[in-house]
């Protein structure tokens, strides 16, 4: 992802945070997050191995409202295979996410590669009663 999803000028500095996510010391995901640097001054000095990204974002005054995500199955390339301890071409789930604030301003993007055999996606969908009544003609 480039700076285009942020509606900012090409070449605008972005803070990049890449982490290998572990569960019981087993790598389950590679998480690459990009944030316009002007929104997160001082983040280059933070040790995100021990510090929470979301807590730091809140401290920076960023109010996350919603995320738009896409998830697709892919084959692990050499980079993903190395960091997730997989064979090249094994299945991975790739989630691309754009997080926006309450003014619909893009705050950050993330691309997460999940090990296909170590990750389960659970989703929940609901429909408001008002929407249901409107569609039924009430």
CB-based contact 93:71 (threshold 8 Å): yes
Per-residue DSSP letter, 118 = S
Question: For the stretch 107-128, what's the b/e string if a residue is b when 16 or more beta carbons lie within 10 angstroms of its beta carbon?
Answer: bbbbebbbbbeebeeeeeeeee
d(CA 109, CA 74): 19
Q: What is the pLDDT of residue 1?
A: 44
User: Mean pLDDT of residues grouped by 10 in the chain (138 residues)?
Assistant: 62 92 93 94 93 93 92 95 95 93 90 88 71 55
Return the pLDDT at 135.
57
């Amino acid at each position: 992802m480039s700076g285009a999803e942020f509606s900012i000028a090409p070449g605008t500095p972005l803070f990049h945070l890449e982490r290998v996510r572990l569960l019981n010391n087993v790598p389950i995901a590679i998480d690459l997050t990009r944030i316009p640097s002007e929104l997160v001054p001082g983040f280059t000095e933070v040790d995100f191995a021990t510090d929470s990204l979301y807590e730091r974002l809140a401290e920076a005054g960023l109010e996350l409202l919603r995320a738009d995500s896409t998830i697709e199955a892919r084959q692990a390339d050499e980079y993903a295979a190395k960091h997730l301890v997989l064979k090249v071409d094994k299945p991975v789930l790739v989630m691309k996410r754009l997080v926006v604030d309450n003014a619909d301003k893009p705050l950050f993007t993330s691309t997460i590669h999940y090990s296909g055999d170590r990750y389960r996606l659970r989703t929940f969908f609901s429909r408001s009663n008002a929407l249901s009544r409107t569609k039924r003609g009430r």
